[in-house]
Structure 1
Amino acid sequence: MNSEKHKMQTILSQASSMNIMAEETDMSLTLETPVGKINGKVVKMDGKYVGEFLGIPYSKQPIGDRRFKFLEPLDEKLDHKVSPFLAHRKGNSAVQLQQGKFWDTKMPVGEDCIYLNIYTPLGSEPENFQKLSESKLPVLFHIHGGGFKIGSGSEPMYDLSFFAVRHDIVCVNINYRLDMLGFLSYPGVIEDNLGLKDQQVALKWTHENISAFGGDQDRVTIYGCSAVQSSVRDEMMSWTKPRMVRILGGASVHYHTLSPESSKYFARAFASSGTVNRLWSRFYRNDHYKKTLKALKMLGGPKNPTAEQVRDFFINLSVDKIKERQIQAKDFITQTKVDQSVSFIPVDEFEEEKLPSKSRMAQKPLLLGVASDEGTMFSDMIFPRKDITKPTWCRQIFSEFFGEKVFYQPLRELLDEISSIPNLPVFVYLFDYKCPTRHKDLFPEAEVPMHFGSFHSLDIPFLFNLAEKKSYLMDPCESDKRVNETCTTMLASFVKSDDLSQFPLVRYETTKKTVNKITADGLTPVGSDCLLPKRKALAFKTITASAMLLMAPNKY
């Protein structure tokens, strides 16, 4: 146990020390909060200080008999044993598969994953640190992506110190339950969508406590960027079954805009590369029930079980057994034909509603974004090959079709739904920058080659101000820096502006469907035609391309 703890601390220390923009200091900062005294570390960046309060538990951990239950509030304050509570290291990320791919988390994982990290700008004068609670700065609340199966708010790419210190914004990252532990459910004994409810609990915790960290509880913006997990190749061929693609990050944000309970705790929302208005970002309740029974059989559970037996079996299942099931479910990445039907994503809470957004959407400003080459990376996930560095006609066609069906068409339909809602400011951007910079820890050429273009999630490091200067993640070129300036200023302005008439993006309206295009030359308002497919007869061409990719993926 001690060796595992030491290993975890070593990994996190290495991740922190790679940041060459930040200077470690011998200072720390203790804050009086509603949940007890919390001590965070202080780092210096470009002459200013940032307080990093890491690994704060926002509820009891869902372990033991609390597995598959709603999160329970902490009984005691965080400093009841040791005062102050030391928040110097990030907590565990959720249990998930770790295969060493660049998109897999390198963070330690465990069932005890209910933690958040807070990054607070402190200014340049240490003697003023204790006045923090008077600041009332705007807040960015970030929900990580990963297809409901992988990911972590503690990833180096989500280091929000860069953004916090540049823009005087308090930032929050969270971890929450994923896959089976977060989304398996069974009628009467295991509730639906526990992972999404975890996010909701973290959002409420932030509302109740962020003022102690200098944040304004009434000026919280939630942000998430999608990450997609797809079913196996055979299912991908059947586009008449629209529930085969699961989206997270941006879709999580969209979900919270539809939830009256969530919408009490934020003022604005920013969802990029993912929405829940299409059925393939949700899963029908009856299908989810069948999936649970299939997992029960695969893992050696009882035959013809009662509901209580189903619950008890999954509660007593070892984490190692859960990981074995995940390996079986996800080996599509390593070219093994698998049964993806035992991995878990949210149950559809709007099953009776074809267009839930129009009737449920919170009347709060909304920023939506998408990249210009969303589908490029997924053809190599769905049809793996040995060398992904060379583009082919088949993969280009499939990528365009995937991007259209999973990202652009849902976005267009969502905009058609909500652009006519009175008093709902909506802004849209298209990220169209093919970043020339590659780095082994962020954009390794062997995993995301240049021909992927402006691929899915590429905008994240530019939004989070990671390309302003040389850092442990990037050595940016001049065009990277210009795009960074456009993106990070856009996000900061959306979070901070009291008057959105001063926001640099042009509003999307029914009578004027404006999309704001981000390139190396800056921000340009264009028509919504940029969200339409680039090729004619794309569906017909995809049938041919997919058949060829199934037959000989290494050739085509």
Structure 2
Amino acid sequence: MNIENNGIFSRRTVLQSIAAATPLIAVGCASAQAGAAFGGGSDPVVQTQYGPVMGSRQNNVYTFKGIRYGADTSQTRFAKPNPPAEWKTILPAHEYGAAAPQKNQNLKQSEDCLFLNVWTPDVSGRAKRPVMVYLHGGAYNTGSGSDELYDGTNLVTKGDVVVITINHRLNAFGYLSLTNLMGGSYLDSGNAGQWDIVLALEWVKANITAFGGDPDRVMLFGQSGGGAKIATLMATPAAKGLFHSAATMSGQQVTASGPINAEKRARAYLQNVGVGVGDVEALAALSTERLVEGIQSQDPIDPEKGLYFGPVLDERMLTRHPFWPDAPSQSSHIPMILGNAHDETRIFIGRKSPETFDMSWEDLPKWLPKHMRCDISADEVVRVYRKAYPDYSATDVFYAATTAGRSWRGQVEEADVRAKEKGPTWVYQFDLGSPDDGGKWGATHTIDIAAAFNNLDKEGAFLGQGPDAVRVADQLSSSFIALARNGTPNSDNLPEWSRYEVPERNTMVFGKTTELVSDPRKVERELFAKVPFIQWGS
């Protein structure tokens, strides 16, 4: 079937073509130029650099799910990814591709996981719209780009943009540092998951024009681990020029894992799966399931926690820490939003330890040291918080201090070093809380995802759909769209959002009202500035 020229394709014709044809198995980039073909009442077909894909259309939004951007990683386990083989026949893109192997049993999983999803208002290839690429969270361990909460339909409809989500390797498959343990094999294993993301962004650069996007206006946004991946990419030479603005939501990566600690973690993992140092064949022979089981190891650096996986200062992909001792010069010109939720740790800790919601003042100093993740006097923390916030309960102080000490602190570090280098930076604080369970979760971790996607009605959203939630979702999603389009988050439905500079530290607070506030948690920031920030996993 010839699809180089625009035309109309019925689902029956396409499926007959797929059934009758033999796929091309050569590896490499297709020589055909990317283009689009679609027609009224039929499914859209777009020619990518590797082969044609057929999506679907609903309510003037074209959706392509499960587009392959990389080859099966079971063939390149613990190594850099390869581009996919070319194909000639039209491949249906109606279902999400497999997620990376992980402990989450509710997802379809496979080592063959390098897929992305595209939502767009147009596949003619004539327009050049801003492109918003979302990196999912899950602390480098879990998650995928197929969560219903990340559906791009509402952003596309609202902002006339193209939205993309991706899957990539996680945990041991994506971040196990085997460089010095396997005789020179797997030199890029510690950052294989990051190399997957780079490959996906290269796909975007080469193909997004055919989907109505502008390869010179690519914005990255991500929450939690997704934000940390973006912070890492900002210091990654291989990612230079692949994105042009960024927004991180409760996700920081001030420092990467050092190579020595990363190797210690890899040794612990190998011991857990029963593979000796240097035994490349035994490691390659392990099943996917056994490799997932090995993730359950204790961390040798902090045995109270599970084994950490994350980017590694390997002197190959990463030759410096992402935001230490300063902001990376390669991305200092990139417009960037940094955001955090006011009550990050309520969901982290509260779900596992519900007794913390009935904490006494006597118990508070006993709970704080473990959960603040920094070496500071618990008694002093309690004293400062009780003076600053006399109406707070012991539970309120606990969650405020653990949020400031272990979660928000990394954002402050990144924003301050960006400000020192005059990088265009804007900061927000998400204060509007969830109405669920009587409001006890507050403005907790992940609450701003639904607002950013304008997906308040999706499963996993817990911001509610009241007037304040609708207003804040409209404002936050508008600011992200504006950043992607214009390089600034300012939009008509927001107060003027000035850049973050030191010492003012202007911060847009999204709450019962939305307003720009100077250094809104100054007391807390100054308290924890007494002690060094140590990124978990580094």
Give the TM-score of the pair, scaled to structure 2.
0.75
Between the aligned partners of 1:538 and 1:261, the Cα distance in structure 2 is 33
What's 1:4 paired with? none
Q: Is the 8 A contact 2:235 2:328 kept in 1?
A: no
Instruction: Determine what percentage of the aligned residue pairs are the same residue.
Output: 25
The reply on whether 1:51 has 2:42 as its aligned counterpart is: no
What's 2:349 paired with? 379
Q: Is the 8 A contact 1:292 1:342 kept in 2?
A: no
Secondary structure of the 2:219 match is strand
What's 1:90 paired with? 96
The offset of 1:471, in angstroms, is 5.2
Q: Is the 8 A contact 2:136 2:223 kept in 1?
A: yes
Between the aligned partners of 2:459 and 2:252, the Cα distance in structure 1 is 32
The offset of 1:372, in angstroms, is 0.8
What's 1:263 paired with? 240
State the one-letter code of the partner of 2:424.
Answer: P
Q: Is the 8 A contact 1:435 1:480 kept in 2?
A: no
The offset of 1:301, in angstroms, is 1.9
The offset of 1:27, in angstroms, is 3.9
Cα distance change of structure 1 residues 119 and 316 upon mapping to structure 2, 3 Å threshold? same
State the one-letter code of the partner of 1:218.
Answer: D
Between the aligned partners of 1:431 and 1:269, the Cα distance in structure 2 is 18
Aligned residue runs from structure 1 range 21-100, under 5 A: 27-44=42-59, 49-64=60-75, 66-77=76-87, 80=88, 83-98=89-104
What's 2:34 paired with? none
The offset of 1:460, in angstroms, is 0.6
The offset of 1:506, in angstroms, is 1.7
The reply on whether 1:533 has 2:524 as its aligned counterpart is: yes
State how many pairs are aligned.
442
Aligned residue runs from structure 1 range 417-428, under 5 A: 417-422=417-422, 424-428=423-427
Q: Which of 291, 316, 323 is equivalent to 2:292?
A: 323
CA-to-aligned-CA distance 1:508-548 (integer Å, 9 cap, x gap):
12353211111132x201011426429979999xxxxxxxx
CA-to-aligned-CA distance 1:314-362 (integer Å, 9 cap, x gap):
22211221232234559xxxxxx98745442221345689414254534
The offset of 1:165, in angstroms, is 1.4
RMSD, aligned α-carbons = 2.9
What's 2:265 paired with? 291
Between the aligned partners of 1:472 and 1:397, the Cα distance in structure 2 is 30
Q: Which of 208, 211, 228 is equivalent to 1:210?
A: 208
Q: Is the 8 A contact 1:55 1:89 kept in 2?
A: yes
Q: Is the 8 A contact 2:63 2:117 kept in 1?
A: yes
The offset of 1:290, in angstroms, is 1.6
Aligned residue runs from structure 1 range 417-496, under 5 A: 417-422=417-422, 424-436=423-435, 438=436, 445=437, 450-467=439-456, 470=457, 476-496=465-485
CA-to-aligned-CA distance 1:82-140 (integer Å, 9 cap, x gap):
x21111100000111126xxxxxx33111111100000124xxxxxxx6x201111000
State the one-letter code of the partner of 2:292.
Answer: K
Cα distance change of structure 1 residues 358 and 137 upon mapping to structure 2, 3 Å threshold? closer
State the one-letter code of the partner of 2:114.
Answer: I
What's 1:414 paired with? 414
Cα distance change of structure 1 residues 260 and 363 upon mapping to structure 2, 3 Å threshold? farther
Cα distance change of structure 1 residues 28 and 520 upon mapping to structure 2, 3 Å threshold? farther
Secondary structure of the 1:133 match is coil
Aligned residue runs from structure 1 range 270-281, under 5 A: 270-277=247-254, 279=255
Cα distance change of structure 1 residues 341 and 407 upon mapping to structure 2, 3 Å threshold? closer
Aligned residue runs from structure 1 range 221-260, under 5 A: 221-226=219-224, 248-260=225-237
The reply on whether 1:167 has 2:163 as its aligned counterpart is: no
Q: Is the 8 A contact 2:409 2:525 kept in 1?
A: no
Between the aligned partners of 1:387 and 1:529, the Cα distance in structure 2 is 29
Between the aligned partners of 2:308 and 2:502, the Cα distance in structure 1 is 39
Q: Is the 8 A contact 2:415 2:427 kept in 1?
A: no
Secondary structure of the 2:43 match is strand
Cα distance change of structure 1 residues 392 and 252 upon mapping to structure 2, 3 Å threshold? farther
What's 2:118 paired with? 118
The offset of 1:160, in angstroms, is 1.2
The offset of 1:224, in angstroms, is 1.1
State the one-letter code of the partner of 1:275.
Answer: Q
State the one-letter code of the partner of 1:369.
Answer: G
The offset of 1:368, in angstroms, is 0.8
Higher share of residues assigned strand = 1
What's 1:234 paired with? none
Q: Is the 8 A contact 2:478 2:491 kept in 1?
A: no
Cα distance change of structure 1 residues 508 and 168 upon mapping to structure 2, 3 Å threshold? same
Aligned residue runs from structure 1 range 490-505, under 5 A: 490-497=479-486, 504-505=496-497
Q: Is the 8 A contact 2:150 2:453 kept in 1?
A: yes
State the one-letter code of the partner of 2:207.
Answer: N
Between the aligned partners of 1:385 and 1:456, the Cα distance in structure 2 is 16
Secondary structure of the 1:54 match is strand
Between the aligned partners of 2:260 and 2:525, the Cα distance in structure 1 is 37
Secondary structure of the 2:265 match is helix
